Chains A and B, each alone.
Chain A
Amino acid sequence: MKGSKANGSRWIKTAAFAALSLFSTGSWAGLYNDGKVFLTGGVFTVDGAGGGGAVPWATITGYESRDGINGGVGFTYVRLPNYDINWIGGSIGFFDRFELSYVNTKLTTDLSNVNTVALVVDALELAGTPLVGDLGLSSNGSKLHMDTYGAKLRLFGDAVYTSDSFIPQTAIGFLYKKNTTPEFVRTLNADKAKDWEAYLAFTKVFFRYSTLVNVTVRYTAANQIGLTGFGGCDLGHNNCNSDKEFRGEVSIAHLLQKNFAIGGEYQQHGNKQKGKTVDTGGLLATDPDGNLVSDLVSNLIGGVSGLTGLNNALAQNESDWYDFFFAYAPSKNYSITMAYLFLGDVAVASQQNGLYLSLHATF
């Protein structure tokens, strides 16, 4: 009872201090805090929120305890056979209760099939006979950019110290994702380039087994975490659907020592672009006999690849994500996470497995 009373007043204090701190730089010295135990704030996720690699946890980012504020900046680089992705962002945790995060994601494609389409578009434009509008493609590697803004609130529970109860630390989070390359997203037959997501995360440390378990349920319509937009449409942007659905995610981290964890993650994905080819805006339109309508296009790509081959190669699919990682925090000022990702089919490319490297610097 004493505890719950203390929690009540702490709530008000948290809000008051958070508001105050926005206006008074002088109060920062007293609010700075790094009293959390190693790695219990999680590392820097691809959503910017505190958590594992891909899965946001119920823990609040940074090394602050309930007595203050902390945060950090993160950089993540992923190299996949056909994609190159980097994330840069930061997050702040307030009183181990609330967190704000931002991350910018840049994905560069290295897809011969999409590059071919881009090349055709470029060639037609140079010839002064453009057949389609801006597809958002580049023959040197098309790019997808996204900004993600996040907020997370710890509702109840303590992931670390309640070893005598099964109640996990529970948090609710919101993410607003804005893809700033809407032309490419549309070309990929996604319905929307920007959308919000919500998640409920449950985290618990089992000291008996030196293991942290996190389960997250996310309500979203994202394709590839939003990098290829939200929802899907039929060719020509018809029959669009971006209804959100619940998807499950799991992180398990086993600590080998107090500042070194190994583990794995699973993230369920939707498949709203399944089987849909890249929307080339009629560029690859065919007559009933299967011949290209445009002689110009036919001449351009006839020699590069067979048309059926190209169209088939432009069909999309999306797999659930898996990864195995280790995270090392040599000090409270930084952590290094390395992972091997099994992302399966990503848009028009299959078997996208590769390395993940992330640095999280904390104040």
Chain B
Amino acid sequence: MKGLTKKLFAGAALSIAAMSSATSFAGENPTNPIMGVPASSIEEFGGREGVRAWVESLFYYIMLDNRIAPIFREFGNPERQIFLNTQLETMVLGGPNEYQGASMSAAHADLGITMTQFNAVVEAAYNACERNVIKYHTCNQLINALAPFTDDIVTR
């Protein structure tokens, strides 16, 4: 019995590993905020190009913030980060799901992100919205859509 359980667990672990190594698509799913995200959000962000411009601003502000810049400098490949984040944000705002990265929990598992660091990124997100002249209310739709990932990202 014990051995069987062990084998089952090993099997499950293997299949999870197989899944994550093959995550060329759908490593993460759109979130499901209780009050929904308005369908017009992606458009108000300026479409895919608008989202990409926002992500570029986001990384600009992140790299200016001493509380979080070192983490991104050490672990991030900015070009790839911007590419994947554009896909992720497009997806959660109701656009097509073309996200090619790992799940939020897998991507952040080893980083030991604190709530303080997470909030610093949220501050950068608002600054990026202001820089890109995205309305505060529209910006909140993105926060609304990304907020459910908090527990996957903050591990400390």
Interface residues, chain A, with chain B CB atoms under 8 Å away:
2-3, 6, 33, 35-37, 65-68, 96, 158, 160-166, 206-210, 255-258
Count CB-based A-B contacts (< 8 Å).
77
Q: Which 3 A-B pairs have the closest CB atoms?
A: A35-B116, A207-B144, A208-B35
Closest to A208 in B: B35
Whole-angstrom distance from the CB of B33 to the nearest CB of chain A? 4
Evaluate whether A161 and B150 lie within 8 angstroms (CB atoms) in the complex, with A65-B116, A207-B143, A257-B136 already known: yes
Could you tell me the distance in whole angstroms from the C-beta of A298 to the nearest C-beta in chain B?
Answer: 66
B137 and A67 contacting across the interface, CB-CB below 8 Å: no
Asked if B136 contacts A65 (CB within 8 A), the reply is no
Determine whether the beta carbon of A208 is less than 8 Å from that of B136: no
B155 is an interface residue with CB less than 8 A from chain A: yes
A77 to B57, CA, bound (A): 41
Q: Closest CB of chain A to B113's CB: distance in Å?
A: 11
Return the contact of A35 from the options B120, B143, B147, B156 (Cβ within 8 A): B120
Find out whether the CB atom of A256 lies under 8 angstroms from the CB atom of B33: no
* B33 contacts across to A, CB distance below 8 A: 163-164, 207-208
B41 to chain A, nearest CB (A): 10
Report A-chain residues with C-beta under 8 Å of the C-beta of B117.
35
Q: Which residues of B107-148 are within 8 A (CB) of A?
A: 114-117, 119-120, 122-123, 126, 136-137, 140-141, 143-145, 147-148
Q: How far is the CA of A37 from the CA of B124 in the complex (A)?
A: 11
- Are A164 and B119 in contact (CB-based, < 8 A)? no
Interface size band for B: 20 to 34
Cβ contact within 8 Å between B115 and A208: no
Q: Please give, as numbers and ranges, the residues of chain B lying within 8 Å of A96 by CB-CB distance.
A: 115
**B116 to A164, Cβ gap below 8 A?**
no
Are B141 and A35 in contact, CB atoms less than 8 angstroms apart? no
Looking at the assembled complex, report how far the CB atom of B29 sits from the nearest CB atom of chain A, in whole angstroms. 12
Identify 14 residue pairs between A and B in the complex whose beta-carbon atoms are under 8 Å apart, listed by A's number.
A3-B151, A35-B116, A35-B117, A35-B120, A36-B119, A162-B148, A163-B35, A163-B148, A164-B147, A165-B34, A207-B140, A208-B33, A210-B140, A258-B136
A207 to B144, CA, bound (A): 5
- Least distance between A253 CB and chain B CB atoms (Å): 14
Q: How far is the CA of A208 from the CA of B138 in the complex (A)?
A: 9
Question: B156 — which chain A residues lie within 8 A by C-beta?
Answer: 6, 67
Tell me if B136 and A256 are in contact (CB < 8 A). Answer: yes
- Looking at the assembled complex, report how far the CB atom of B123 sits from the nearest CB atom of chain A, in whole angstroms: 7
**Complex partner residue of A65 from B37, B115, B148, CB under 8 angstroms:** B115
Q: Are A67 and B115 touching (Cβ within 8 A)?
A: yes
Q: Are B119 and A208 in contact (CB under 8 A)?
A: no
Q: Mark B15-54, 1 if CB is under 8 A from A, else 0.
A: 0000000000000000111111110000000000000000
Q: A65-B119, A207-B33 are in contact. Are A255 and B136 (CB under 8 A)?
A: yes
In the complex with contacts A6-B155, A210-B136, A161-B147 CB distance below 8 A: yes
Query: Hey, which chain A residues are within 8 Å of B31, CB to CB?
Result: 163-164
A67 and B147 within 8 A (CB): no
Can you add 4 more A-B contacts, CB < 8 Å, to A163-B31, A164-B34, A208-B140? A68-B116, A208-B38, A210-B137, A255-B140
Query: Nearest Cβ distance between residue A105 and chain B, in whole angstroms?
Result: 33
Check if A37 sits within 8 Å of B122, measured CB to CB.
Answer: yes
Q: Which residues of chain B in 54-98 are interfacial with respect to chain A, using CB atoms and an 8 Å cutoff? A: 67
Q: Which residues of A contact B148 (CB under 8 A)?
A: 161-164
CB-nearest residue of chain A relative to B150? A161
B144 pairs with A163, CB closer than 8 A: yes
Chain A contacts for B136, CB-based, 8 A: 210, 255-258
Known: A166-B34, A208-B37, A255-B136. A160 touches B147 (CB 8 A): yes
Q: Kindly state the separation between the CA atoms of A6 and B117 in the bound complex, as whole angstroms.
A: 17
Q: How far is the CA of A162 from the CA of B32 in the complex (A)?
A: 11
On whether the beta carbons of B119 and A37 are closer than 8 Å, the reply is yes
**B-chain residues with CB within 8 Å of residue A158 when the two chains form the complex:** 150
Give complex CA distance A158, B145 in Å. Answer: 16
A65-B115, A258-B136 known; A206 vs B35 contact (CB < 8 Å): yes
Task: Report A-chain residues with C-beta under 8 Å of the C-beta of B143.
Answer: 163, 207
A258 to B142, CA, bound (A): 14
- Which residues in B have their C-beta under 8 angstroms from that of A2? 155
Of chain A, the residue at the smallest CB distance from B123 is A37
B116 contact set on A, CB distance < 8 A:
33, 35, 65, 67-68
